[in-house]
Structure 1
Amino acid sequence: MTGTSVPVSGASVPVTAAHDTRSPSVVEAMGVVLHDAGGPGDADPRVLLGLALRRNPRRAQLLVSRVLGKHVPTDPRLVRAAGLLLGARVADVLDGCAPRPLPVDALHTAVAGDRDAASAVHAEAVDGSGRAHDVAVLGFAETATALGHCVAEALRADYLHSTRRPVAGIATAGGFTEEHSHATDHLLLPTDPAFLTAPRPLVLVDDELSTGRTAFNTIAALHETAPRQRYVLAALVDSRPPDSRLVDDVAALGARLDVVSLARAGVALPADLAERADALRAAVDAGPTGPGPRSPDVVRVRLADLGWPHPTPAGARHGFGPADHARLAAALPAVAAALAGTAGLHPGARTLVLGTEELMAVPLRLAQELADAGHDVSFSTTTRSPAVVTDDPGYALTSGITFPAHDDPADGPGPRYAYNVGGPGDQRWDHVLVVVDPPADTPALDAGLLAALAGRTHALTVVVTP
């Protein structure tokens, strides 16, 4: 559906004014209301978040981050800045200090699309982070893998993210369940078992903290085999209810938990949200669909040929240390410049760097370096999470594509998604760079994601990590 509001049958909806007889927008009809529950120096969650509908019976609402680079193409400098700012706040808490005030005005202006503000916030975040802390950082797949990288970079700490892809030859050191997620099972696959067993503080990183169940499940499972005295939970937005017992529950295990965020949100849900969601999904699904995908012309570029700093891994699925961060930071400007030349990018071209599922950190850093060099770059990532798409006022997901999995996942084939990449009638990207690791560079990639993107961009390049 394009440019129209969606009527809802069988569900009461709020009315914006007594004389207003129009059909409510999707966001209004959902009835989900965000409140700013933070203090001075915190960001406003109503700026950082948009609202959408999940296709998930466990939870209807989807809080869509505007600074994560997952569902919304975003200036990569803003995405990295948000992660570094979160890491700096974690450092303050670890040091026994109050979390530092955020550059709220510049941050909010950057979210609104001001690229100069994004550059300024990024520069401030880089300057304000970097003192080493003896902690381990654990990020949650798939949404927080790059966010965890940024937090670990700010702390100069060892980093690991969970994964949903088993790897031959790497023993599983643990796992946990994300109860409300579309894909629930997480594996922990460090090559160094001491990452999880050393008694140093553990910093857990997620994009949004709603109930705290995933964090508690993880802490309880790890604490049972490797107890430690302290945990820190870091999220872009903390939207736990006021009666949350997460901190007390961790204390009952014999450990301290601190919770750190950029924003605190109160979320008011209507009692009949499930019924509203069903009606809205049905109304949207009754709308027209776009044309099917077509075969693209694709250029492939391998980072191993462009000066990638061996032996730096392409992500933290098995661990990523401070030396890896330093080596990558030193090499990235030249790697990104070589990529721009090989792919034929032009500074004025409208470019999307698209990561794939858990592979977020390297695409983010490449995109950020390209933006620093003057390219007009946005960054986002494909996802496993099904959600409702409609071009409706205030709704967070205005377009989307669906395609098959292309990396032979352990849980079998299934659909994958990319949001806000444009519809067939929208302005095309001048260039899309899809970043994959070798197991995901398959014929299914060409037939699925690349074919779906072909009608939305003038040029398409696949960037393959080592």
Structure 2
Amino acid sequence: MKDMTIQASSTQERNYKVLDSLSVGIRVEENPYSLPPESIFGVAARNNPKRSFLFVSKLIGKHIPVLPHIPLITGFLLASRIAELMGLATNKSKINEAANVLSSGTNCDFQSPAYQFPGKALFIGFAETATALGHAVFNNFTGNVNFLHTTRENLTGTQDTLYFTEDHCHAPDQRCLISDTSVVADNDLLVLIDDEITTGNTCLNIIRTLQKRYPQKRYAILTILDWRSAEAITRYGHFEEELGIKISVLSLLKGCFWHQGESPVINIPSMTIKKDIPFVTTVHEKMRYEVDTISEGGQPASYLGYTGRFGVDVSDTNQTLAEAQRIGLKLSQMRKGKKTLCLGTGEFMYIPFLIANYMGENVLVQSTTRSPVHLHNREDYAVKHSIAFEDPFRPGIKNFIYNIPPNCYEEVFVFWERQVKPDQVAPFVQSLKELGIEHIVFVTFCN
């Protein structure tokens, strides 16, 4: 296959030759902080009949490893868009500093200022890619604000569960768990956060669901990439009129895309299990806020309350940071290598990324994902390497971790929200060892 070429023009159009059989073009229409598109995303092919490619974020730590502060700074820039919407004072020098960090991808000691929200607000991050992004946005506000993230976990308990679908996704079923109905009542603004919107239908699905049970006055949709067509934007206007609400859509980059060709069918690697499982160090950490519920299969299970799956407010923020610092400094003493990867799992991203911030230098973060992506080992292609393994809690559901090259890291810290034994994910552990990773640590939290 030929190399992917990127061509730019004065009209902010760019063409990406992804594979010989697939090319993608984009037109940038709005770029409020002048972020270079190549610093925001790459492009890769995927096996999905609804869209044969994906924009692979370089900011959220999902498919591509990033420095721990990158998702947090991205959250600050998105929070600044909300601040601008609400007429709050913003620090332009801080915004420029944040934009420069994202543009260069460099390390820094960035301290983001907090915005005092005027009124009451609820922030909701979409699973699985935007759980950490949504939390990072919320973390930049003080006042009467709350945060939830949606989940694909099939949990039952005392909470009210809202169901909706993510139409374009390979795993479309989503849930929003309302443990305290006061957080969805009398909000001046409800903010939905995702890394990308294409048609925007997912946001409309959850807004329609919310309006039936917990009507809101005003919504904002916050996203890194806004690819809605003119037709989709018109549909939003009709939707506002139908429900009698106001919806603002804010992004770091707005534009449109087109593509030619299709991606090849993805052959997912088999998961062979050898007899010998490499040695794994396991560290079990307790955090103060846990939620007891019933997991899929009807078994009792505990989850971390600090993640936001069941809701958090600003009073939880300082405690979360303190716990992350305590655990991060402890794990830093366990490091044996100079190049370390801290790996979140599925929806469990924000807390691992916070912890990694306190683990010293030469640390990168990313997370596992359920998204199957076509691999191509070429320098400018977004997804080159893959490990496949079965979800330890959901038999038959494959998970992937991308872009771990051979002999890149000396050690990996894997963060599991609930306890996982190495033999439950043996192919994953074996694959890490085969990539030259000598020191493997599982960090677990809940039973």
**In structure 2, what is the equivalent of residue 83 of structure 1?**
75
- Structure 1 residue runs of 5 or longer lacking an equivalent are 8-12, 17-23
Q: Relative to structure 1, is the Cα distance of residues 177 and 395 closer, same or farther in structure 2, using a 3 angstrom cutoff?
A: same
Q: Relative to structure 1, is the Cα distance of residues 415 and 331 closer, same or farther in structure 2, using a 3 angstrom cutoff?
A: closer
- Any conservation in 2 of the 1:332–1:366 contact (CA below 8 Å)? yes
Q: Deviations over 1:381-417 (max 9, x none)?
A: 0011111111124210011111111123xxx522110
- The answer to which structure has the higher helix fraction is 1
TM value normalised by structure 1: 0.81
Greater mean alpha carbon deviation, residues 291-300 or residues 218-227: 291-300
Q: Deviations over 1:315-373 (max 9, x none)?
A: 111111111112112343232111212x3345xx1110100001011111111222xxx
**In structure 2, what is the equivalent of residue 49 of structure 1?**
41
**In structure 2, what is the equivalent of residue 173 of structure 1?**
161
Counterpart CA distance in 1 for 2:162 and 2:7 is 49
- Any conservation in 2 of the 1:431–1:458 contact (CA below 8 Å)? yes
Q: Relative to structure 1, is the Cα distance of residues 290 and 392 closer, same or farther in structure 2, using a 3 angstrom cutoff?
A: farther
- 1:436 aligned to which of 413, 416, 431: 416
Counterpart CA distance in 2 for 1:232 and 1:28 is 39
- Secondary structure at the aligned position of 1:222 is classed as helix
Counterpart CA distance in 2 for 1:264 and 1:437 is 34
Measure how far apart 1:378 and its partner are.
Answer: 0.6
Measure how far apart 1:100 and its partner are.
Answer: 6.0
- Structure 2 residue runs of 5 or longer lacking an equivalent are 9-15, 291-303
**In structure 1, what is the equivalent of residue 294 of structure 2?**
none
- Secondary structure at the aligned position of 1:448 is classed as helix
Q: Relative to structure 1, is the Cα distance of residues 163 and 406 closer, same or farther in structure 2, using a 3 angstrom cutoff?
A: same
**In structure 2, what is the equivalent of residue 205 of structure 1?**
193
- Any conservation in 2 of the 1:34–1:267 contact (CA below 8 Å)? yes
1:1-40 equivalences in 2 (<5 Å): 5=2, 26-27=18-19, 29-40=21-32
- 2:326 aligned to which of 334, 337, 341: 334
Measure how far apart 1:211 and its partner are.
Answer: 1.1
Amino acid at match of 2:347: E
Q: Relative to structure 1, is the Cα distance of residues 230 and 109 closer, same or farther in structure 2, using a 3 angstrom cutoff?
A: closer
1:315-326 equivalences in 2 (<5 Å): 315-326=307-318
- Any conservation in 2 of the 1:139–1:160 contact (CA below 8 Å)? yes
- Secondary structure at the aligned position of 2:408 is classed as coil
- Any conservation in 2 of the 1:69–1:381 contact (CA below 8 Å)? yes
Alignment: residue pair count: 419
Instruction: Report sequence identity in percent.
Output: 26
Q: Relative to structure 1, is the Cα distance of residues 445 and 245 closer, same or farther in structure 2, using a 3 angstrom cutoff?
A: farther
- Any conservation in 1 of the 2:198–2:226 contact (CA below 8 Å)? yes
Q: Relative to structure 1, is the Cα distance of residues 264 and 6 closer, same or farther in structure 2, using a 3 angstrom cutoff?
A: closer
- Secondary structure at the aligned position of 1:385 is classed as coil
**In structure 1, what is the equivalent of residue 339 of structure 2?**
350
Counterpart CA distance in 2 for 1:441 and 1:249 is 47
* Aligned: 1:192 with 2:180: yes
Measure how far apart 1:215 and its partner are.
Answer: 0.5
- Secondary structure at the aligned position of 2:180 is classed as coil
- Any conservation in 2 of the 1:176–1:186 contact (CA below 8 Å)? yes
- Any conservation in 1 of the 2:324–2:351 contact (CA below 8 Å)? no
- Any conservation in 1 of the 2:122–2:189 contact (CA below 8 Å)? yes
**In structure 1, what is the equivalent of residue 116 of structure 2?**
131
Higher relative contact order (CA 8 A, sep 6+): 1
- Any conservation in 2 of the 1:36–1:44 contact (CA below 8 Å)? no
Q: Relative to structure 1, is the Cα distance of residues 314 and 464 closer, same or farther in structure 2, using a 3 angstrom cutoff?
A: farther
**In structure 1, what is the equivalent of residue 402 of structure 2?**
419
Counterpart CA distance in 2 for 1:324 and 1:105 is 27
- 1:264 aligned to which of 241, 246, 254: 254
- Secondary structure at the aligned position of 1:245 is classed as helix
- Report the aligned-residue RMSD: 3.1
- Secondary structure at the aligned position of 1:216 is classed as helix
- Secondary structure at the aligned position of 2:203 is classed as helix
- Secondary structure at the aligned position of 1:269 is classed as strand
Amino acid at match of 2:317: H
Measure how far apart 1:246 and its partner are.
Answer: 4.8
